[in-house]
Structure 1
Amino acid sequence: MFIPLTKVLIYGTAVYLVLGPLFRLWRPNCSPSPVSSARRSASGSDLFGGVVGGLVLVVEKPYQIGDKVTVGEHYGEVTGIGLRSTTLVTPDDTAVVVPNDAMFTSNVANANDGRPR
């Protein structure tokens, strides 16, 4: 009898902890400065775009870790794929963090498409 109640409480708390901060980002800012509210809404839309891009990466898998890709103006080997960004290592060993929403605004080219050669 307590197991279903416990599951509901655990899942409800998890959803609140994950979605709560996202909803707080999109809440209108009541401060008198229009600049601060514009800055706040831009960061919320960037976060949303990055998360949506991450979900698209998980579903469509246009590249995987180890692939050599070009995302916009950045070329390198994919060393990490996160929910908000992808990390590339360029040929000169520079780590570049590319937001996942760049998939929607720039070209993505995969040199080896998941194959090792």
Structure 2
Amino acid sequence: MASGYGLTGGPSRCFPFWQEVLACYVVNTNADDNSGKTKCAPVLEDYYECLHHKKEAARVRALQVAYRKAEASAAGGESAPTSGQIRNLGLLNKEEDTKKVLEKS
């Protein structure tokens, strides 16, 4: 872990999340039984998201792609692929849906 200090000398932006992780471990585990760690998985996931922003970045990328497709379909007068066609991309026995989507893009 880094020094724990933020840019202005105070605690880092993720320090409150780290405190929640530690509190969860203290409450749910002891020296003999570590099975309570599974209860702390959501809190630990929040801490990792604060550090790395992977979920946030994935959502932004997905929104950008959807926005670009909507712009392209509005400009070209074409209909956008349905959600079912998008879900079937690359699946076996769904080659026709894949062709339809790829022809539009």
Shorter-chain TM band: 0.3 to 0.5
Question: Quick check: which one's strand share is greater?
Answer: 1
Larger relative contact order (CA 8 Å, sep ≥ 6): 1
TM-score normalised per structure 2: 0.35
TM-score normalised per structure 1: 0.32
Question: Quick check: which one's helix share is greater?
Answer: 2
